[in-house]
Amino acid sequence: MTLCIAASGTLLALAASSFSLSWTHSVEKTLWQEQWSIQDNRLVLTQAIVQGSGAGIAPPPDAILTDEGWTYTPTLAPLDRLTLAASGVTPSPWQLCTDTQCHDLGAEAGTPITLWAADQCAPE
């Protein structure tokens, strides 16, 4: 499976069946982590971990507190694509990691970043 990333006029294709996405919350300065899998060329959110609550990031009632933070399974339907803002003014860029590599995305202001899965990546 291929994870496709379109960012700032660049198209990146990563061989991956899953990936993590993490960032620092702009107000609370806490880490947010998401685990995603690729199933039938769709993006499936399988787990989220939030280090703290506040400013729109309260964990749901079924979250379990672990050493990593509040851990839960989101109830989001599979996505054809995921769009990430690239404001350049948040405390950290988005960090996307597969089993073999990590990429910082959106560190500088620019067009939104789009993620999708496909057999072969092609410009949108």
Domain-embedded: residue 90: yes
pLDDT above 70 covers what percent of the chain?
97
Tens digit of each residue's pLDDT (9 = 90 or more) over 28-65: 788 899 999 999 999 999 999 998 777 677 789 999 99
Domain-embedded: residue 53: yes
Q: What's the pTM?
A: 0.90
Domain-embedded: residue 100: yes
What's the CA gap between 44 and 18, in Å, rounded?
Answer: 9
Number of domains in the chain: 1
Domain-embedded: residue 28: yes
The sign of the torsion formed by the CA atoms of 20, 21, 24, 25 equals negative
- Asked if residue 15 lies in contact with residue 1, where contact means CB atoms within 8 angstroms, the answer is yes
Which of 20, 16, 63 has its CA nearest to residue 4? 16
- Structural domain that includes position 83: 17-109
More confident position, 31 or 13: 13
Q: What is the pLDDT of residue 124?
A: 66
Q: What is the pLDDT of residue 73?
A: 96
Q: What is the pLDDT of residue 89?
A: 76
Domain-embedded: residue 117: no
Domain-embedded: residue 23: yes
Domain-embedded: residue 40: yes
